[in-house]
Amino acid sequence: MTRHQGGFTLLEVLVAFVIFALVFATTLQILSGSLRNVKRSAEYTQAALWAQSRLDAVGIDPPLESGQYQGEFDDDYSWELEIVPYEFNDDSGLILDEFPIDLFYVELRVNWGQEPRRLQAVFKTLRTAVPQRDSRT
């Protein structure tokens, strides 16, 4: 009489181990990608917060006039600001000399990270200013 013993063969154990290893490696890859995405999202959020504070100051420091400016928020984040007069479309039918405000196009670039993987976020807006008219007229 032959006795049939219960249990797993070596081949079954090896196949189960390979399946476990593949599932574990895939799970680690997914988690690693998720952590990278969370870090990048936090960096972009910080850049947006810095940009908001810089754009809130435009018109005070620097003044609202044509020019290019740059600076640093901290050791990781720097900024470049460009202010240029906004050009109206000639088809608008507006009499530009009598327009009650001046419009300026403002572009802010926030940079962070180390080379060669330097990241940048660009923020654009229009700002208004009361025109500086000649007081003699």
Alpha-helical regions (H) of the chain: 10-57
Distance of CA 87 to the CA centre of its chain: 27
Per-residue pLDDT tens digits for 61-97: 888 889 999 999 999 999 999 999 987 766 666 666 6
User: Domains in the chain: how many in total?
Assistant: 1
User: Contact, 88 vs 96, CB < 8 A?
Assistant: yes
The tokens of 137 are what?
Answer: 């007229």
Looking at the predicted structure, is the pLDDT value of residue 134 above 60?
no
- Say what the pTM is: 0.71
| Residue 135 in domain | no
| Residue 121 in domain | yes
| Residue 104 in domain | yes
Q: How far apart, in whole angstroms, are the C-alpha atoms of residue 47 and residue 50?
A: 5
Q: How far apart are the first and last CA of the chain?
A: 121
| Residue 32 in domain | yes
- CB neighbours of 20 closer than 8 A, spacing ≥ 6? none
Q: What is the mean pLDDT of the chain?
A: 87
Q: How far apart, in whole angstroms, are the C-alpha atoms of residue 7 and residue 117?
A: 54
| Residue 69 in domain | yes
Looking at the predicted structure, is the pLDDT value of residue 60 above 60?
yes
| Cα 80–Cα 118–Cα 110 angle in degrees, nearest 5 | 25
**Which domain, by its residues, includes 87?**
10-129
| Residue 31 in domain | yes
| Residue 3 in domain | no
Share of the chain above pLDDT 70, in %: 85
| Residue 98 in domain | yes
pLDDT at 89: 67
